[in-house]
Structure 1
């Protein structure tokens, strides 16, 4: 028990020593108001104007995420090819790919994929 307490004490002392050395070694910087203010998404927070946001860009991003997730869902079908029957595997794979193609056609026919309108 005493050995464990001494190890914990030594670990704590070593950690404190390392933190103290890091504090002494690191570069001291002058706190600047502009540098310490948050800067998000390329917009300066000092100005309070709202910039217009393209909703079409948002739709393209959502479509990309949906198709990306669908591709991730297709990947395990290659591993299940060994354990399932070939006919059942082909029916499942083709039906899933058909659903993906139908979704792509729907988005294409509604003009969601066109960047310029």
Structure 2
């Protein structure tokens, strides 16, 4: 019985929130939504505007390093499971890959924004 009440509550709450999210934006029609925002692109114009290739490369590099750092996050929990040698070797391997990637980007001037 508790499961049924919980599921009905969750379904009702979800439906209420979806309807509020659907109807609420239609009530606030004003010109600020159609004006250019912080990045300077016109929201009503073409979506295919050119942008700097340097920005693209920096963004991709950030995403790659961010994902690789996310692989290091479970290390404190892995240390608790007795196989310390394997964890240390894996961590050193990941850090070596990160350092080599950073050195490669640095030496190929992939991180130079001003050029």
TM-score clears 0.5: yes
Q: Give runs of aligned pairs for residues 70-81 of structure 1, distance below 5 A.
A: 70-81=68-79
Q: Give ranges in structure 1 of 5+ residues lacking alignment.
A: 1-10
Q: Secondary structure at the match of 1:115?
A: coil
Runs of 4+ deviating beyond 3 Å: 34-41, 45-48
Q: 2:83 aligns with which of 75, 82, 85?
A: 85
Larger Rg: 1
Q: Secondary structure at the match of 2:79?
A: coil
Q: State the superposition RMSD in angstroms.
A: 3.5
Q: Give ranges in structure 2 of 5+ residues lacking alignment.
A: 1-11
CA distances 1:52-94 after superposition (whole Å, capped 9, x unpaired): 4110011101111111111111000111001142211111110
In the alignment, what sits opposite 1:8?
A: none
In the alignment, what sits opposite 2:107?
A: 109
TM-score, normalised relative to structure 2: 0.61
TM-score, normalised relative to structure 1: 0.60
